[in-house]
């Protein structure tokens, strides 16, 4: 279809089943922290495709690693034969992930297939019929990962029979009015002693920052306390760091902020720097439960494994944990300063380069989803890309490349604040956003 715009060609050729759209973004190329549209317009990418493009776009370390692996393509999988790069990736992940005892790494394509694998193998290995997770959690878009999720976007999708969902501790909208999280811990302990017997629970899925649920940072000590509670009942802790892991929050693993080490760690998105690769790191007695238990043809392919190795190495050589902490603090600081004159910004929160900006009706503190959808549309018009999350679709989520510079952080904050103010001023109409379903 010559002459038609890239976006209109997308609409004519690609299935809507896999689209979560907020504005007509059509990317011709990427360059560092910028996306470039077909007319050459440069957009500051404050999402990195929901956190996946952890090194930005076209990072030389990634390109060299992928080129090198492809040049000597050592097969296409570890399904029925191993390859050196996949083994090196697994060994590197074991080295970089604290944990006791004999452990193994499962390599997959996505956060979904990784979490689905955990949701299947842990009950099988423990012979315990129940699992627990948080309302608001998005652990994936496949049947098995949705079955242990609690996000409102997945309402109506079948849950695991033995799943118990509990509220996530949100200091901005606290459970029973207790911002410390202790009332929620007490509630969970009560469940484990009554309707959800702890000795029947195989695992507890948790995000150290609940991302799609609203970029919610739990109160200090909550997750450490939950981990102690789980240990008392022999419940395995499953830490889903698919979005906030791998240096994004200012430490290599986000759980390190919370004073506990999970039994099982799930990684994805940024692990591949934009290529599809995920990982589950856990005890050998679980991860070796049975052969051919969770397999896909291209799992552990050397090209994606090489990308992951390049990301892990670059996090070290470019000190990206430290960079994320410093740049993220600056980003939050700029937004907080500007928010003083924007009452519709009810809360600014996050760790490092995982930042949430909650939009509310200032007269009631009620979530303002309409403002969020118009803000992200306006931001795209102004030259920045970010989306919204939250059970009420009212929290702007910033998960830029870890290579974001201080200047780009300042630029991004200014664009975000202007977008909120313009949306408040009615510069985006209902008709502008009507074609985009969002979530
Ligand atoms: C904490 C967490 N765990 C697992 C997943 C699923 O990862 P995949 O989308 O790579 O299967 C995700 C995916 N999150 C969604 C992906 C769908 C669109 C909305 N934005 C996200 O970041 C996630 O945030």
How many Å lie between the centroid of ligand 1 and the Cα of residue 243?
7
pLDDT of residue 2: 59
Residue 264 has pLDDT above 50, yes or no: yes
Name the residue of 243, 356, 397 whose CB sits within 8 Å of the most ligand 1 atoms, as the mutation to test its pocket.
Answer: 243
How far is the C-alpha of 373 from the C-alpha of 388, rounded, in Å? Answer: 7
Q: Taking Cα atoms as reference points, which of 32, 33, 34, 39 lies closest to residue 24?
A: 39
269 CA closest ligand 1 atom index: 10
Ligand 1 pocket by Cβ (under 6 Å): 20, 50, 110-112, 115, 138-141, 207, 211-212, 240, 242-243, 268-269
Instruction: Specify the pLDDT at position 3.
Output: 79
Give the residue whose CA is nearest to atom 13 of ligand 1. 140
pTM above 0.80, yes or no: yes
Q: Which atom of ligand 1 is nearest to the CA of 241?
A: 1
pLDDT at 194: 98
How far is the C-alpha of 93 from the C-alpha of 95, rounded, in Å?
A: 5
Tell me the best of 154, 269, 280 to mutate to test the pocket of ligand 1, counting ligand atoms within 8 Å of each CB and taking the most.
269
d(CA 81, CA 88): 15
How remote is the CA of residue 125 from the centroid of ligand 1, in Å?
A: 26
- Residue 346 predicted with pLDDT over 70: yes
**Kind and range of the H or E element at 114?**
helix 111-126
Residue 198 has pLDDT above 90, yes or no: yes
All structural domains of the chain, each given as residue ranges with its CATH number in brackets, are 6-58+319-433 (3.90.1150.10), 63-317 (3.40.640.10)
- Whether the predicted pLDDT of 181 surpasses 80: yes
Closest CA relative to residue 248, chosen from 206, 209, 222: 209
pLDDT (average), residues 164-184: 97
Instruction: Report the percentage of the chain scoring pLDDT > 90.
Output: 97
The predicted model gives 309-314 an average pLDDT of 98
Distance, CA 33 to ligand 1 centroid (Å)? Answer: 20
The residue contributing the CA closest to ligand 1 atom 22 is: 50
Question: Which ligand 1 atom is at minimum distance from the Cα of 268?
Answer: 10
| DSSP-derived pairing of the beta strands 130-134 and 201-206 | parallel
pLDDT value of position 411? 98
Using DSSP's 3-state secondary structure scheme, residue 151 falls into coil
How far, in Å, is the centroid of ligand 1 from the Cα of 195?
Answer: 30
Residue nearest to atom 8 of ligand 1 (CA): 111
Ligand 1 atom showing the smallest separation from residue 112 Cα: 11
Would you please indicate which residues are annotated as catalytic (active-site) residues? 138
What is the interface pTM, i.e. ipTM, of the complex? 0.99
Place of tokens 């670059």: 314
Distance of CA 258 to the CA centre of its chain: 17
DSSP string, 325-355: HHHHHHHHHHHHHHHTT-TTEEEEEEETTEE
| 3-state secondary structure (DSSP) of residue 396 | strand
Residue 248 has pLDDT above 50, yes or no: yes
Q: Residues of the chain with pLDDT > 70: what percent?
A: 100
The rounded Å distance from CA 51 to ligand 1 centre is: 9
Checking if the pLDDT of 434 tops 60, the result is yes
Assign 205 to helix, strand or coil.
strand
10 Å Cβ neighbour count for 241? 27
pLDDT digits (tens, 9 = 90+) for 71-99: 999 999 999 999 999 999 999 999 999 99
Sign of CA dihedral 370, 371, 374, 377: negative
Predicted confidence (pLDDT) at residue 1 exceeds the cutoff of 50: no
Ligand 1 nearest-atom number relative to CA 278: 10
**DSSP codes of every residue in 71-95:** HT---S-SSSS--HHHHHHHHHHHH
Phi, psi of 328 (to 5 degrees): -65, -40
Average pLDDT over the chain, rounded to an integer: 97
By CB atoms closer than 10 A (0-12, 13-18, 19+), residue 2 is exposed
- Could you give phi then psi for residue 398, rounded to 5 degrees? -115, 115
Question: What's the CA-to-centroid distance between 112 and ligand 1, angstroms?
Answer: 7
**Mean pLDDT to the nearest integer, 369-392:** 98
> At a CB cut-off of 8 Å and minimum separation 6, what does 333 contact?
none
């Amino acid at each position: 279809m010559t002459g038609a715009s890239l976006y209109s060609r997308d609409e004519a050729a690609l299935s809507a089943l896999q689209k979560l759209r907020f504005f007509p973004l059509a990317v011709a190329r990427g360059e560092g922290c910028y996306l470039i549209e077909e007319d050459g317009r440069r957009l500051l990418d404050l999402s990195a495709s929901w956190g996946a493009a952890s090194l930005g776009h076209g990072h030389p370390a990634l390109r060299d690693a992928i080129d090198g692996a492809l040049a000597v393509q050592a097969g296409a999988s570890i399904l029925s034969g191993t390859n050196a790069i996949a083994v090196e990736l697994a060994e590197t992940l074991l080295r970089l992930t604290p944990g006791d005892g004999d452990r193994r790494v499962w390599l997959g394509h996505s956060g979904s297939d990784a979490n689905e694998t955990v949701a299947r193998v842990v009950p099988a290995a423990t012979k315990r019929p129940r699992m627990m997770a948080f309302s608001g959690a998005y652990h994936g878009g496949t049947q098995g990962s949705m079955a242990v999720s609690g996000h409102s976007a997945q309402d109506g999708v079948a849950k695991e029979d033995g799943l118990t969902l509990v509220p996530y501790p949100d200091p901005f909208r606290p459970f029973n009015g207790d911002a410390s999280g202790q009332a929620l811990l007490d509630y969970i302990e009560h469940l484990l002693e009554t309707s959800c017997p702890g000795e029947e629970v195989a695992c507890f899925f948790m995000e150290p920052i609940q991302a799609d649920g609203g970029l919610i940072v739990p109160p200090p000590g909550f997750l450490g306390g939950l981990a102690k509670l789980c240990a008392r009942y022999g419940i395995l802790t499953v830490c889903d760091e698919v979005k906030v892991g791998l240096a994004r929050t200012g430490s290599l693993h986000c759980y390190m902020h919370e004073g506990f080490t999970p039994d099982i760690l799930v990684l994805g998105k940024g692990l591949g720097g934009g290529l599809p690769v995920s990982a589950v790191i856990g005890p050998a007695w679980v991860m070796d439960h049975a052969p051919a238990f969770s397999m896909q043809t291209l799992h552990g392919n050397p090209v994606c494994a090489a990308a992951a190795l390049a990301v892990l190495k670059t996090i070290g050589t470019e000190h990206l944990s430290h960079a994320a902490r410093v740049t993220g603090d600056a980003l939050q600081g700029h937004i907080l300063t500007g928010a003083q004159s924007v009452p519709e910004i009810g809360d600014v929160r996050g760790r490092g380069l995982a930042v949430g900006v909650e939009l509310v009706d200032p007269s009631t503190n009620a979530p303002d989803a309409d403002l969020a959808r118009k803000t992200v549309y306006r931001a795209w018009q102004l030259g920045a890309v970010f989306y919204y999350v939250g059970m009420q679709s009212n929290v702007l989520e910033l998960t830029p490349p870890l290579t974001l510079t201080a200047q780009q952080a300042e630029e991004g904050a200014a664009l975000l604040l202007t977008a909120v103010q313009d949306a408040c001023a009615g510069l985006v109409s209902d008709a502008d956003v009507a074609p985009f379903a969002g979530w």
